[in-house]
Amino acid sequence: MAKTSQEISLLFRKAKVDRSWSFDDNRSTDTWTHGFHRYPAKFLPELVKKLIERYAKKDDLVADLFAGCGTTLVESKIHGKRCVGVDINPVSRLITEAKTNAIEPRKLDRYFQKVLRDISKYKYDKSAIVQKHQRLVYWFGKRRRAKIDYLYKSIAGLRDKNVKIFFQCALSNILKNCSRWLQTSTKPQIDPDKKSADPFLAFKYQAKRMISQNKTYYNHLKAQKILSTSCKIKLADAKHTGIRSNSVGIIITSPPYVTSYEYADIHQLTGYWFSYFKNIHTFRRKFIGTFYSGNNSLVVNGALAQQTVQKLFSKDPRTAKEVANFFNDMDHWLSVG
């Protein structure tokens, strides 16, 4: 019989806590390539490392069906495990590709020198045609926009695909700092007093940090002879991943949280700049648990879930709808998964 919420919280209070899973001694998210790009609600790498070392068998394919910024994939690769990730968010794919494809350091440096040469030739031209998307005009001042546009084009002209992705990831991560977006907020909110960063300085700093981390990562993979370990990231809905049945040995994943992040909004700067979507309204709806799903049903499966949604509805109908969407989306995912 289904348990009531009181019975469940009693069970939690009685449960024995194993502190070794709280990683109080090492909560860094900046090791290897993990720190390439900010991402809300990302895994602690130590947690994934421990799960792989403890539970993944020798030839297991490791999968993460809500791959986010690719923490599971980076750790899998470091452990020489084949891996596959799925996420609906193109920004997730960009970051994960940049973080998992180790690049030969001298080659990367040669390309970096090329981008630096381009930067050194830059001259602000008032009449030049730069990005005019109205949302980008909203977030960036004209001079910042002109420099970002220039960087964007310089990177787009690089011939090597992985190098291009690497520098696109660097550019993506500096967009927030260079914009008017309130720095401490994940919600799209203007900070009228913000002194936004200079795109060239921010990019150079970001790229240098990433180049150094790529070198450590590359050298480790090379020394372990696991550079070519297969690692794929698919841009897809977790409900229809296209991954072959029985091909996965272990799944290490953290689904979206209920009532927390609207990923489409959070990543709109990259989304608009890289033309990942035309219309944010339709893009938002693809995400599990989004408030904007268009589904207004408050009917959910399971007595406890229904009780929770009803209780919430009397206090906060908007949140009740978000919670109901989340339960229904996750239910759908589990039923087709």
Residues that bind ligand SAM (CB under 6 A): 39, 41-43, 66, 68-69, 71, 86-89, 92, 237-238, 254, 256, 263, 286-288
Nearer to ligand SAM, 154 or 173 (CB): 173
**How would you write the chain as a 3-class SS string?**
CCCCHHHHHHHHHHCCCCHHHCCCCCCCCCCCCCCCCCCCCCCCHHHHHHHHHHHCCCCCCEEECCCCCCHHHHHHHHCCCCEEEEECCHHHHHHHHHHHCCCCHHHHHHHHHHHHHHHHCCCCCCCCCCCCCHHHHHHCCHHHHHHHHHHHHHHHCCCCHHHHHHHHHHHHHHHHHHCCECCCCCCCCECCCCCCCCHHHHHHHHHHHHHHHHHHHHHHHHHCCCCCCCEEEEECCCCCCCCCCCCCCEECCCCCCCCCCCHHHHCHHHHHHCCCCCCHHHHHCCCCCCCCCCCCCCCCCCHHHHHHHHHHHHHCHHHHHHHHHHHHHHHHHHHHC
The candidate with the shortest Cα–Cα distance to 291, out of 264, 325, 256, 265, is: 325
- State which residue has the least CB distance to ligand SAM: 68
Nearer to ligand SAM, 99 or 147 (CB): 99
Closest distance to ligand SAM from the beta carbon of 335 (Å): 14
Closest distance to ligand SAM from the beta carbon of 89 (Å): 4
Closest distance to ligand SAM from the beta carbon of 252 (Å): 8
Nearer to ligand SAM, 174 or 238 (CB): 238
Closest distance to ligand SAM from the beta carbon of 284 (Å): 10
Nearer to ligand SAM, 69 or 155 (CB): 69
CA of 256: how far to CAs of 78, 89, 144, in Å?
Answer: 25, 12, 33
Closest distance to ligand SAM from the beta carbon of 81 (Å): 16
Closest distance to ligand SAM from the beta carbon of 37 (Å): 10
Closest distance to ligand SAM from the beta carbon of 141 (Å): 29
Closest distance to ligand SAM from the beta carbon of 127 (Å): 39
Nearer to ligand SAM, 29 or 177 (CB): 29
Nearer to ligand SAM, 199 or 271 (CB): 271
Closest distance to ligand SAM from the beta carbon of 49 (Å): 12
Both structure tokens of 44? 């602690």
Nearer to ligand SAM, 196 or 290 (CB): 290
Nearer to ligand SAM, 70 or 199 (CB): 70
The amino acid at 184: T
Nearer to ligand SAM, 135 or 286 (CB): 286
Could you tell me whether strands 250-251 and 231-235 are parallel, antiparallel, or unpaired per DSSP bridges?
Answer: unpaired
